[in-house]
Structure 1
Amino acid sequence: MGLVVEVNNITKAYKKRKSKEQVQAVNGISFSVKAGEVLGLLGPNGAGKTTTIKMMCGLLIPDAGTVFIKGIDNKKHRLKALSHISAVLEGNRNLYWRLTVRENMEYFAGNRGVSQKKITSRVDDLLRKFRLEEKENELVNRLSRGMQQKLAIAVAMLADSDVILLDEPTLGLDVGTRHEVRELLRSIAQVDNRTIIISTHDMEVVQDLCERVIIISDGEIVADDQVSNLLRLFDARAYSISLEGHLNEHQLSKLKNKFPMFNYLPASHHSVLEISFSVSEQIYELFDMLRHEGVVIESIDRGMLHFEQVFIKLIKGEKTHETLAQSI
């Protein structure tokens, strides 16, 4: 597969308000994305992720470095490069609220060069696919957040671009709508064979859809690997421990101070401790603590690690992109 996005050593600094001091938002980030890939672009607030996205979309010019979309420099040939990428920024920002669903789709299709002959059939097809037919004559500002989000993604699909970049596609949606949007994105990736870049804090989306993730922290990449590899890297240190009875507040406080990465699930006559460790040897420290507190262990199983736990560990620096390759 060929590369559709190439980000080469981009940097961006901002000047603080009322000060000459420079804040380095992005510091020498490089990565590439293959055709047909589903990539997660992750990072905590203030990490430089949004700045990176804006440079990829041509909304910001890097201080240094280059971005190529389908081999085209998006600084030297901005419009030509951006014709190959569609972006949905924070869900419904790219919609006109005083137009109807159909009017939005027809306007943006024409704006991206789709011929009038093709617009009607293309819009009809996407209205069916996204289950928006009953709302086609509804003004966008009267739609639910979930409907607006689906419409924004449908509008991005109209351009038939090689790359679709989605910024927080499930933000603010209820559980049912989040599931529906994930299914739509899976269909786009598998059936339409588009390259999708998802920027999100929703780790269910990452674990469910993304093949690979890039994690940015403090303006630099701290991880760039397959989701399965990153899960496997930390999986050996995740456990589910069934306890007799319940832990009291004092015991939970001691546990939190020593092992911050855990979930405590009390049941009627027992409780379950889902916990992961920085290093495997910490399990012996946990046993000593539980024994000292007189807590009886009923059973121990390997736990199921979720990508949110991996994300937190990587951000905290337990593994860096230099050591990931050596560890897998």
Structure 2
Amino acid sequence: MEKLIDIKGVKKWYKKKKSNELIEAVKGISFQVDRGEVVGLLGPNGAGKTTLIKMMCGLLIPNEGSVTINGFDIKSQRLKALRHISVVLEGNRNLYWRLTVRENLEYFSGNRGMSKKAVSQKVDELLERFNLTNKSHEQVNTLSRGMQQKLSIAVALLADTDIIFLDEPTLGLDIETSYEIRKLLTEIAKKENKTILLSSHDMPVVQEICERVVIINGGEVVTDEKVQNLLELFDTKAYSFTLTKALNKQQLAVLNHNFLANMSQEENGETKLEVTISHSEEFYQVIDLLKEFHASIEKIDRASIDFEKVFMKIVKGEPENEVTLSATS
């Protein structure tokens, strides 16, 4: 496979204000992304993800290691590297607000060296595809956040780069617009043969669109694996307990000290306790704790697990031999 993004041993540190103490934001991250892959770049706040993103976009220079985009080093060949990547950053200030929808598309294509005439047909196609035709002559600052986000993605597609980087593409959107964006991204991933790197806290988006995830925590890669493999790994260790009454906060905290536990109240009055464990033998430890809490169990089922639970379990700190699977090559 052709590697479009190649990150090797990247480190970035900063000097703490008013002292010489060094803060290591990124501690030697390495991973690759092949042509046509859709990869989620995930991590909790403070994990080093934003610093890494800035280095990939050429906004920061690594202290050590290298970032290569389609064979071009982001440090020594920055302009050549950036010709192969389009970026939609978090928020909606990726556009000129006092220009119309069409003018934004024409302006940013001009920045890429394309004439207005050359992109005219493509602009019309994108406006129709993103359901923006009837808004084409309206100023961007009058549009809803969802429409602004769709336009930002359309601008990225118009550039026709090999790589599209999307930072929180569904942040702050309503359910309907978020679904529309997810549908568009899924279509792009399947039909455009683009390499997409997606950063998001919206786990349904990650689960629906991404084939693989790279999860960063504490400035290091803790997991690099296919989404389906992770779901299958954790699915065998997720259980749902139906209880006659809810556990108290202290009891739930004890469970969460060793496992990932979540309790909810159903409409029929039942209490559902979902527990994700690391090893099969821990199932009996959960049972012993529930017995100690004098909890009455009505039913035990295997729980279906979504990627949000997988992400939380990994970030919480699973043993290395359980979660850090062999990296996808």
TM-score, normalised to structure 2's length? 0.93
Compared CA separation, residues 95 and 119, structure 1 to 2 (3 A): same
1:91 shift after superposition: 3.7
1:297 and 1:6, CA in 2 relative to 1: closer, same or farther beyond 3 A?
Answer: same
1:263 corresponds in structure 2 to 262
Residue 276 of structure 2 corresponds to which residue in structure 1? 276
Q: Identify which range, 170-179 or 90-99, moves more after superposition.
A: 90-99
Q: Check the 8 A contact 1:164/1:197 in 2, yes or no.
A: yes
Q: Helix, strand or coil for the counterpart of 1:41?
A: strand
Residue 327 of structure 1 deviates from its aligned partner by 12
Q: Output the CA distance in 2 between the equivalents of 1:125 and 1:240.
A: 48
Distance 1:321 1:254, change over 3 A: closer
Counterpart residue number, 1:145 = 145
| Counterpart secondary structure, 2:8 | strand
Partner SS state of residue 205, structure 1? helix
Contact between 2:224 and 2:325, CA under 8 Å: does it hold in 1?
Answer: no
Q: Which residue of 2 aligns with 1:286?
A: 286
Map Cα deviations across residues 139-183 of structure 1 (whole Å, 9 max, x no partner): 111111111111111111111000000011111111111111111
Q: Sequence identity, in percent?
A: 55
Q: Matched residues in 2 for 1:183 and 1:214: separation?
A: 22
**TM superposition score normalised by structure 1:** 0.93
Matches within 5 A, 1:89-238: 89-238=89-238
Q: Which residue of 1 aligns with 2:296?
A: 296
Question: Alpha-carbon deviation of 1:322?
Answer: 9.2
- After TM superposition, the structure 1 = structure 2 runs for residues 41-80 of structure 1, keeping only pairs within 5 Å, are 41-80=41-80
Asked if the contact 1:259–1:277 (Cα under 8 Å) also holds between the matched residues in 2, the reply is no
Q: 1:44 to 1:316 in 2, by over 3 A?
A: same
Q: How far is the alpha carbon of 1:294 from its aligned partner?
A: 4.2
- SS of the counterpart of 1:108? helix
RMSD (CA atoms): 2.0
Structure 2 unaligned spans of 5+: none
Find the aligned partners of 2:326 and 2:7 in 1 and give their Cα distance.
Answer: 24
2:30 match: 30
Whether the 8 Å contact between 2:242 and 2:270 is mirrored in structure 1 is yes
- Tell me how far 1:68 sits from its aligned partner: 1.2
Cα deviation per residue 1:227-258 (whole Å; 9 max; x = unaligned)? 11112222221012223x3225x3x5313322
In structure 2, the CA distance between the partners of 1:30 and 1:150, relative to structure 1 (3 Å rule), is: same
For residue 259 of structure 1, give the secondary structure of its aligned residue in structure 2. Answer: helix
